Structure 1
Amino acid sequence: MSKTFIGLKQDDVQALAQQLNELLANYQILYMNVRGFHWNIKGENFFELHVKFEELYNDLLLKVDEVAERILTLGHQPLHAFSDYIELSSIAERKQVSDGREAVESIVDGLAQLVARQRTVLAAASDADDEGTAALMSDYISQQEKSLWMYRAYLGH
């Protein structure tokens, strides 16, 4: 069985690259959703949420780049067309959201989907002995679990 330049099995890497491209699509849709929330938020929590949404979309954008670079490290090409993101993402595109509670509920849903998807990637990466992808997913999961707790607390859950 042939191996990649980083010593992983080609078949394992092919499957991981596909999963990472699907993760990338979800990140891109959530990023654009949060960007829209930041721009359009209104109401009594405007100042608080405007800042929180900016922090979140900056973090999501960093992770978009890291996931794309991981795909490249595995020897594959990251998707870069928005039409691919729409097709592959399980996170729904959100439009015209200006209500803070609705935006935070959407963020909670999106982060929960990312965490679940990253657990699947983590398991596949571990099975493939891909420590680089596994470590990345593990870091993301622990950060986003805390964010989920905080956003849920904001909602009173």
Structure 2
Amino acid sequence: MSKINIGIKEQDREAIAEGLNQLLADTYSLYLKTHSFHWNVTGPMFNTLHLMFEQQYTELALAVDVIAERVRALGARALGSYSAYAKLTEITEDNGVSSARTMIEELLEGQEIVIRKARSLYPLVNGADDEATNDLLTQRIQTHEKTAWMLRSMLEE
């Protein structure tokens, strides 16, 4: 591959890509968990949750592509294996949760993990004047905060 000259220092590109790979691991792990909950939700709110979880995992599937492509644009390899994601993610796996309420609580926790991970990258990204990654992070945070709000609202009595 030819030398990358996009106005971001190589060490900054590498550090940003590393952070984005961590975000990718969390996002993909949340996608898997949300998809599993979509398949396995039961109870009186089945239809509502089944459809909502489908919308959420579909959005997450698109997000992993955007994040991975940004890693590649920065000149790094985008992680793409379960084992690599498992080493990096803070998202807990679906371990047979059957309660719809617990599913909502766990997905809310996952959304907030992703929000914090994305937000933690701002100092590095801003210091490197990486506006493209800054924009990606802003969009991801907005989406995850809205989803977290919706999930949180479902938990209120």
Unaligned 5+ segments in structure 1 are none
- Structure 2 stretches of 5 or more lacking a match? none
Amino acid at match of 2:68: A
CA distance in 2 between partners of 1:148 and 1:123 (Å): 23
Matched, 1:62 2:62: yes
Q: Which moved more, 1:119-128 or 1:130-139?
A: 119-128
For 2:134, the aligned partner's letter is A
- Once the 2 structures are TM-superposed, how far is the Cα of residue 47 of structure 1 from its aligned partner? 0.2
1:5 deviates by 2.7
Residues 11-60 of structure 1 show CA distances to partners (whole Å, capped at 9, x for unaligned) of: 11111111111111111111100010000011000000000000000000
Normalised TM-score (structure 1): 0.94
Q: SS of 2:121's equivalent?
A: helix
Mapped to 1, the partners of 2:93 and 2:58 lie a distance apart of 18
Contact kept? 1:29, 1:89, Cα under 8 Å? yes
1:93 Cα shift? 1.1
1:19 matches 2:19: yes
TM-score of the two chains, using structure 2 as the length reference? 0.94
Q: Are 2:32 and 1:32 aligned?
A: yes
Which segment is superposed worse, 136-145 or 101-110? 136-145
Question: Percent same amino acid among aligned pairs?
Answer: 38
Aligned to 1:128: 128
One-letter code aligned to 1:97: V
How many residues are matched?
A: 155
